[in-house]
A and B are shown apart, each in its own frame.
Chain A
Amino acid sequence: MGVISRRFGLMVALAAGFAAAPALAQAPAPAPVRGGSLTIGVESDFEGFDPVKAGVYSNSTVTAASLFYETLMRLDDKGNLLPSLALSMTPNEDGSVWAAKIRPGVKWHDGTPFTAQAVADHFNRLLDPANRFAGRAYLAIEKVEAPDELTAVFKMRGPNAALPKTLAQPTVTTLIIPVKQALEKGADYNRNPIGTGPFVFKEWRAADRLIAERNPNYWDKDKPYLDRVIVRPLPDSDARYASLVKGDVQVIWEDRAENIVKAKKDKNLVVLTWVGSGALVVPLNTVKEPLNDKRVRQAISMGLNRKANAEVLSQGLRPVYDDPYGPTSGIECKDNGALGYNPEKAKKLLADYGKPVKLVQTVTATPRGREGAQVFQADMKKIGIDVEIKPVDQTQLVKETLARDFQITGWRIIDLADVDPQMFANFHSKSPINFSGYNNAEVDRLLLIGRTSLDENKRKAAYCDLIKILNDDVVWLWTGSNIDFAITRANVRGIPALRGGAVQVEAAWLAK
């Protein structure tokens, strides 16, 4: 490994060393009460717990997987790095190599020791093209080595400042599984997970419930507080909410505005809200006519009343920002170059373009997809653009989008702790996921600064310069923030920020 940057290494180590336990969403809280069983209602059944076999994790699966699996680092509610399976992560001089100091004495649930080799095996398995793990497109890691039992060395494809934060958010990629045991158990492992986490897997009755019990050998001796956690897939949102009101479950993930508004008025319930990074977006295909003309794209941006639309679509619950960074990314730009809502100017731009504009908008064939498309269509009609709505199945939308076979589509920049992986993948001209076909040398340069600079202020400045260009060029439209809600019974405490929509209960407890 190269020379470690002392300044930055110290910064990460200090952040890890001095930070307290994750801040609780429902402060002030008295001392946690031990014991009890907590049932969480989630939206969908679980894909399985082997990332290679499951491929993707929904937020329901991350909720369940976080019971058993852990990440190397973790984040508090303000986005500060905390130690978890790694005590610290330190980079070399240019950030192209990161060394993770592994926490000693941690054991897998089957009693075998957790070592740096397990970390290397986990990530190398995901990176191996033979395993076809699609999430590797977002990983800037080349390979991971384990020079000794307690040091895992991440060799990056280039300098990378975002790695510790990227590895701190629980996702299908970052939640570490024991590859050796997974391979030994074969297909069974996907349904019988083993991890290092606060709860031990007991039973998974498909489509009904998953049961986990307290890990008595958990490395953080104080936790978990609960004896048992049950996760139940409850697909119907009204029935899920009714189960919470009745008390059959104590926590639910929820996205139905009516239920959230109702819950806010119920003194027996508490609504947890998390506005993450990323955004709901409407990508434009910048290489196809008429959207290859900047005037048309700008007219669309100025003709779209995003704030009024979000108000209608989410009953005022979903804020709209002029960038895809969100309020929790730490990036605050004085000037983001947003064009604003200006239908008169939009009409002038279209008149200047001189040809009638007809567009096809591809959306998912769901009520949510259709509603979003209808308000878009109505706004565009006001400025003289005809929009035809093309509802398709989710998998078809993904297929057409990645093949650049669209004019306007619906997408989402997911909530990640660092904006680099998504911004780079979506807007760098050489990225295979840049499906808008956008090609701008200055944007590429700024994205590289964001990815490689170890100077946090320089990174933030680069992302602010970047958003000015993207807003002026109107590559994608930011139509709403990534907002997640969970509703709990009033006696549930200690659930941290709902990053990525996952409900984590390692520090949860039930007040008397």
Chain B
Amino acid sequence: MHWLARQVLRLAVVLFCVTLLTFLIVNILPGDVATAILGGLATPEDLAGLRADLGLDRPMLVRYFDWLGSALSGDLGRSHRSGEPVAQAIADRLPVSLQLMIMAQVIAIGIAVPAALLSVRRPGGLFDRLSASTAFGFLATPSFMLGILLIYLFSVTLDLLPATGFSPMSEGLWANLESMILPALSLGLIEWTVLMRVLRSDLLTTLKEDFILLARAKGLPPWRVLLQHALRPSSFTLITVIGLNIGGLIGGAVIVEQIFALPGVGRLLLGGIFNRDLILVQGTVSFIAAGFVLVNFLVDMLYAVLDPRVRHVRFRS
């Protein structure tokens, strides 16, 4: 319980720092939402009036703590630009971003694990070298470029998948999956490379352990040795990297949602930044930060599931 309390406290501190920093950064950016709403021709009086209406004429810290008070009770405020409640806007767009990130992660793990297992069967062999080269190739490709290449290959040339847009589940499972395959591939095809290299490296270390030698000595076939004995103890770094990569995945999702015109949280955030919609940016960034910390918290919990030693240490503490 003590450990859990520490994690919750950590989450609170991180969120406080993130929200305060976001608030400060958005406030020192030149331009503001009043100019974005009223346009280039607004008179100074109109701008001042709108700022007063939106409460933007109050001191920065007063506004921050006002917002924080409301946020703690679940009210993230209303977008200055559209008047839409921020929590509602996030809730509406969250399923799209979550689906994108989950599918990307499934693709990444789905490629990384078999590729790593095949690579360590014969380190330095043809497959190992080929997978390493392919991985570095993908790693060097930005997701926005990969997205456009995938569109031209699978949509324009092969006519297999839609180029842009999102179909909700209400339009059918296949329609939904069809609209998400290319965006998820744009992220997953980059994400798998790091996972594969990390897992390969850990597998090679594990394969030198005595218990692996014992398993082999018992006459177990190589695949059983790899899957049943080596994979699990080699997965710790992989899981840590998956947790940490959520941050990169969120960043990638912002770009991919923009390219594929997906109505996700990333695009909501980008729109908020362009419009200097402080409340919207504040709410979205805080939500993403909370999500990031929470995922890493779950990753920590997963260690305990995978390794009884971790469970034991935490229990004692």
Q: Does residue A1 face the partner (Cβ distance < 8 Å to B)?
A: no
| Chain A, Cβ-Cβ closest to B167 | A208
Contacts of A187 in B (CB 8 A): 83
A261 at the interface (CB under 8 A from B): no
Segment at the interface with A among B26-34, B104-112, B203-211, B303-311: B26-34
Docked-complex contact B46 and A134, CB < 8 angstroms: yes
Q: How far apart sit A132 and B46, CA to CA, in the bound complex (Å)?
A: 6
* Known interface pairs A132-B50, A392-B30, A432-B43; A246-B38 also in contact (CB < 8 Å): no
Tell me if A248 and B39 are in contact (CB < 8 A): no
Instruction: Specify which chain A residues have a CB less than 8 angstroms from the CB of B155 in the assembled complex.
Output: 242-243, 246, 248
**B271 at the A/B interface (Cβ < 8 Å)?**
yes
* Residues of A close to B164: CB separation below 8 A: 41, 232, 234, 236, 239-240, 242-243, 248
Q: Which residues of B contact A395 (CB under 8 A)?
A: 30-32, 35-36, 276
Please name the residue on chain A nearest to B82 by beta carbon: A48
Query: Within the assembled complex, what's the spacing in Å between the Cα atoms of A137 and B151?
Result: 44
Task: Please give, as numbers and ranges, the residues of chain A lying within 8 Å of B258 by CB-CB distance.
Answer: 235-236
Confirm or deny: B260 has a beta carbon within 8 angstroms of a beta carbon on chain A: yes
Size bracket, chain B contacts: 35 or more
The complex places the Cα of A402 from the Cα of B34 at a distance, in Å, of 14
Q: State in angstroms the CA–CA spacing of A432 and B30 once bound together.
A: 23
- Find chain B residues with CB under 8 A from A396 CB: 30-31
- Does the CB pair B163–A239 fall under 8 Å? yes
Asked if B267 is at the interface (CB within 8 A of a chain A CB), the reply is yes
B259 nearest CB neighbor, chain A only: A236
Interface mask (B152-194 → A, CB under 8 Å = 1, otherwise 0): 1001100100111110000000000000000000000000000
Give the number of chain A interface residues (Cβ < 8 Å).
47
Which residues of chain A come closer than 8 Å to B46, judged between CB atoms? 129, 132, 134
B298 at interface, CB cutoff 8 A:
no
The reply on A55 being an interface residue by CB < 8 A is: yes
B252 within 8 A of A: no
Complex alpha-carbon distance, A54 and B36, angstroms:
10
The answer to whether B89 touches A248, judged by C-beta atoms less than 8 angstroms apart, is no
Contact B261 A236 (CB under 8 A): yes
A208 touches B165 (CB 8 A): yes
B147 contacts chain A at the CB level, 8 A cutoff: yes
Query: Is B38 in contact with A55, judged by CB distance below 8 angstroms?
Result: yes
Question: Is residue B92 within 8 Å, beta carbon to beta carbon, of the partner chain?
Answer: yes
> B139 interface residue, CB < 8 Å from A?
no
A240 to chain B, nearest CB (A): 7
Q: Could you say which of B42, B84, B92 contacts A132, with CB atoms under 8 Å apart?
A: B42
A507 at the interface (CB under 8 A from B): no
Q: Quick one: closest B residue to A240, CB to CB?
A: B164
A134 to B50 Cα, complex, angstroms: 11
Q: Decide if B263 touches A135 in the complex (CB within 8 Å).
A: no
A-to-B contact residues, CB < 8 Å: 41, 45, 47-48, 53-56, 129, 132, 134-135, 137-138, 187, 190-191, 205-209, 232-236, 238-240, 242-243, 245-246, 248, 392-396, 398-399, 401-402, 425, 432-433
Closest 4 CB pairs of A and B: A395-B31, A396-B30, A207-B263, A56-B39
**15 CB-based A-B contacts, threshold 8 Å:** A47-B82, A56-B39, A132-B50, A134-B43, A206-B89, A207-B267, A232-B165, A234-B164, A235-B261, A243-B162, A246-B162, A395-B35, A395-B36, A399-B31, A402-B41
